Amino acid sequence: MIGRLNHVAIAVPDLTAAAALYRDTLGADVGPEQDEPDHGVTVVFITLPNTKIELLHPLGEGSPIAGFLEKNPSGGIHHICYEVEDIRAAAARLTASGARVLGTGEPKIGAHGKPVLFLHPKDFTGTLIELEEV
């Protein structure tokens, strides 16, 4: 059901410094900052030969990333995103097998302009999983 790894998302307390670290120290291809108000984050994508890294920073006071950074002030891995061909079919299969889809269960449009869903970390060994339709 799941396809390739789309990205690993890392919450960071300082988006500019984190982007500079990847660009200047690691020599990575770092994209521009992109506000995602529907998700309460500002993101920067780092393109690697085989996947992407998504740097996340809170956008607004209600951001879920703000809470994550309160618990992890230095930042850290927030979620892993896998690609799926049909997000609604994937959600139906997962819920039928007991997995919990977060929110309303309806896909939202993610940072790549494609439908996304998040799966409860308690159902996946403590890891927040994002599914993105490709």
Summarised one tens digit per residue, pLDDT across range 20-41 is: 999 999 999 999 999 999 899 9
Summarised one tens digit per residue, pLDDT across range 63-105 is: 999 999 999 999 999 999 999 999 999 999 999 999 999 999 9
Residue 71 CB: number of other CB atoms within 10 A?
8
Residue ranges making up the domain that contains 30: 5-133
Q: Where are the beta strands (DSSP E) in 20-128?
A: 29-30, 34-36, 41-47, 52-58, 76-84, 108-109, 115-119
Token pair recorded at residue 77: 């891995």
Token pair recorded at residue 31: 């994209």
Mean pLDDT value of segment 45-56: 97
Question: 106 and 83 in contact (C-beta within 8 Å)?
Answer: no
Which is the catalytic residue, given 54, 83, 130, 133? 130
Q: Is 130 a catalytic residue?
A: yes
pLDDT value, residue 60: 86
pLDDT value, residue 19: 98
Residue 35 CB: number of other CB atoms within 10 A?
14
What CATH code is carried by the domain that includes residue 47?
A: 3.10.180.10
Q: How many domains does the chain have?
A: 1
pTM for this entry = 0.94
